[in-house]
Amino acid sequence: MANMLAVAESVAMDAARQAGNIARTLFAEGYTQDEKDDFGDILTEADLLAEKAILLLLHEAFPQHKIRSEESGWSGVDSDWLWLVDPLDGTNNFAVGLPLFGVSITLIYCGQPILGVIYDTILDKMYVAKHNEGATCDGIALLMQPRPIPKRLTVGWIQGHKVQQDEVAIRLRRHVESSTKRMMRLWAPTMQWSMLARNQIDGVILYNSEGDDLYSGLLLVQEAGGLIMDYEGNTFRGMNPEPYLIACHPDRKEVMLQLVRAGRA
């Protein structure tokens, strides 16, 4: 298995970089786009071409694996091995000219994320996380270090597309926004996970947002020494189709839990 995982890491990094190069080129030169659902989400030429490049490499290297990709859905064969692909995480940013988007590729084995690759397309940074083997950025180890807890936190907020006007989500979001220095909604979840893994923000609150971009980010934070827990403080592992999660450095566990509890009260 070790040799297969080494190949998987190499292929995923190559695929992510190819997809990122496609998106970066089209971002500069122009592209076609259309709305793809009733929530106003955008589908661009970059999504489709980046996805095509990734799937070609994955199918060639791992014909016996299953794949779930953001735009084309399921492909491959039934297997204990599952690839999750978001070829352009941050499509709406891309579409409005905001240079904040990336690529997410995750390998799952028997329901457990074991490899996560995130490519920050504009900054040309490659993040890799391997189960029980740590996390890196451009080959340099990422390790979240303890820091003094500030008077007011900087927190990322991620919510699922279908949450919309959920009353509990609105109440919690308003509380977080009013109780922190800044609540960030970047429209590109993997970019927030990478910021947390680099210790640049205090935490991330995720409200029912399971998707093809999720597990690479969770694995990156976990392998960098961060804590992933549910709203009750229980450590999160594996996968969940409706996740409600808090991520932070372990020394911020209680302050992040209190922030969420107060917002749900």
Q: pLDDT digit string (tens) for 164-196?
A: 889 999 999 999 999 999 999 999 999 999 999
* Residue 187: partners with Cβ closer than 8 Å, 6 or more residues away: 90, 92, 93, 98, 100
Residues 124-169: pLDDT tens digits?
Answer: 999 999 999 999 999 999 999 999 999 999 999 999 988 988 999 9
Which range is least confidently modeled, 2-6, 65-69, 200-204, 226-230?
Answer: 2-6
pLDDT tens for residues 76-104? 999 999 999 999 999 999 999 999 999 99
Predicted model pTM = 0.96
Domains, the chain: 2-142 (3.30.540.10), 154-264 (3.40.190.80)
DSSP, collapsed to helix, strand or coil, labels residue 79 as coil
pLDDT at 34 (0 to 100): 86
The answer to whether the beta carbons of residues 208 and 251 sit under 8 Å apart is no
Question: Hey, how many other C-beta atoms are within 10 angstroms of the C-beta on 79?
Answer: 14
DSSP state letter for 251: G
Reply yes or no on whether the pLDDT at 225 is more than 90.
yes
